[in-house]
Amino acid sequence: MHNHRNGVSAVSFGAPAWEVSKQNKVIDIRTDYVTPNIMRRSDGHEFVNLCSCSYLGLHSHPDILEGAIAAIRHTGALDLPISRIRLRLNLLEEFEDRLTALFGARCLSAVTSSAATAGVLPLIASGHMSSDGTPPVMLFDRHAHFSMDYIRPICADETEVVACRHNDLEQIEDACRKHKSVAYVCDGVYSMGGVAPIAELLSLQDRYGLFLFIDDSHSLSLHGAHGEGYARSIMREVNERTIIVASLGKAFGGSGGVIMLGPTEHEDILTRFGGPLAWSQGLNVPGIGAGIASSKLHDSPELSRRQAQLRRNMALFDSLIATEQADNGFPLKVIAIGDEDRAVAASARLFEAGYYSSAVFFPIVKRGAAGLRIMLRADNTEADIRGFAQALTEILQRDLAPAPARVKADA
């Protein structure tokens, strides 16, 4: 027990900071959109949301909204609720064909990228994605996103699973020398900064046949001429030893997830035996319609225009506020505060000043490294970014006393 998961300890470590957040009213907030940029809390308080993952601001793009509506009208139903392996809408096929053309790799969709990962990883573990059927030893990068780590215990029931030091090419090569078949599981771009060493990993793949599973949710739409993401933009092709998954619910501006595959045999295995890919719902009709509209935008000058707007906003932010993530090309920034209570208090004050940021603490960041997380977007205004920087500076300079609400140890 507890070789790959320990729920009791995870919850007991994580719970206190959430409780403080709740008492400071910076989570569980009910709200409506006023504009794509401004939100209104149910008591009327209006604020700028700086925590949306719609990095290109596409979730409010009129074409995408219209695409969702048109798809419902055209179909006359919200969904075709039956496993895709039996029946699937032509509209879904059209969407996947568009993604395939856009990203230059056979693409399947899923209801979320987490569901895609939950479907794919166990089949890698059982050897069904390897050409000779050998279950690979699986190395999970220590910084791999929760959605991969969560499936680790299932993989460990199929094959040997090893925690890999972050981006440690030596450890990966060492495993390749020792074992006939090895798979490495990682993010393409890491949200807290840094990227996977894709070129070096491809070289290990050439030399040893290393299998790569890459979650590029953080960079889809942000990187690449067609928004194909960081890892895909470096690879010549997605070969039979590589699978990339990514969320369509972030910068892409739609919902669901995408799986980029090499050979078509993998497609049949995945749709028949890929857990939630086989038994659970797929993208519903508005999700498909929005996705088709977004694919068209990705194939138009609008994509590079928005990518450039986002870069401008990131540069403006970096010129005003120092973070470890400055100039790393990714819109997520963590403003270091240190103490958890102080981070929650700062988040609460900023919220009252009209800016929603999220306080992050262990286990999202290291212990004692609590801070405020914000995500920049292409559709932030210059006034929003400057206003946030000013409010932050004032709040951090003023004493944050009185102390924020605390959970008593004996409560």
Ligand X SMILES: *Cc1c(COP(=O)(O)O)cnc(C)c1O
Residue type, 256: G
Q: Choose which of 215, 340, 341, 379 interacts with ligand X (CB under 6 A).
A: 215
CA distance 3 to 13: 18
CA distance 5 to 321: 37
- Taking CB under 6 A as the rule, does residue 340 contact ligand X? no
CA distance 313 to 294: 22
CA distance 161 to 321: 40
231-240 LR contacts (CB < 8 Å, sep 24+): 231/188, 231/196, 231/198, 232/103, 232/104, 232/105, 232/260, 234/198, 234/199, 234/202, 235/198, 235/202, 237/104, 237/105, 237/262, 238/104, 238/105, 238/106, 238/262, 239/205, 240/131, 240/266
226 touches 298 (CB < 8 A): yes
**Helix, strand, or coil here: 162?**
strand
Q: Choose which of 67, 249, 262, 287 interacts with ligand X (CB under 6 A).
A: 249
Residues 6+ apart with CB under 8 A from 315: none
- Taking CB under 6 A as the rule, does residue 242 contact ligand X? no
Letters for 9-48 (x = contact with ligand X by CB under 6 A, - = none) are ----------------------------------------
CA distance 101 to 93: 12
CA distance 353 to 275: 45
Contact region for ligand X (CB under 6 A) — 83-91, 110-118, 223-231, 313-321?
Answer: 110-118
- Taking CB under 6 A as the rule, does residue 284 contact ligand X? no
140-199 residues near ligand X, rule: CB under 6 A: 145, 147, 187, 191
Total site size for ligand X, rule CB under 6 A: 13
Q: Which is nearer to ligand X, 57 or 249 (CB)?
A: 249
- Taking CB under 6 A as the rule, does residue 54 contact ligand X? no
Q: Choose which of 21, 49, 75, 113 interacts with ligand X (CB under 6 A).
A: 113
CA 285, chain centre distance (Å): 22
Min. distance of Cβ 190 from ligand X in angstroms? 8
Min. distance of Cβ 188 from ligand X in angstroms? 8
Sheet holding 358-360, edge to edge: 332-338, 370-375, 358-360
Contact region for ligand X (CB under 6 A) — 26-34, 161-169, 213-221, 293-301?
Answer: 213-221
- Taking CB under 6 A as the rule, does residue 257 contact ligand X? yes
Contact region for ligand X (CB under 6 A) — 77-85, 214-222, 266-274, 279-287?
Answer: 214-222
Min. distance of Cβ 187 from ligand X in angstroms? 5
13 touches 362 (CB < 8 A): yes
Contact region for ligand X (CB under 6 A) — 9-17, 57-65, 107-115, 164-172?
Answer: 107-115
Min. distance of Cβ 271 from ligand X in angstroms? 18
CA distance 398 to 409: 28
Min. distance of Cβ 222 from ligand X in angstroms? 12
- Taking CB under 6 A as the rule, does residue 358 contact ligand X? no
Contact region for ligand X (CB under 6 A) — 38-46, 106-114, 219-227, 390-398?
Answer: 106-114
- Taking CB under 6 A as the rule, does residue 218 contact ligand X? yes
For residue 105, the 8-state DSSP code is S
What does the binding site for ligand X look like in residue numbers (CB under 6 A)? 112-114, 145, 147, 187, 191, 215, 217-218, 247, 249, 257
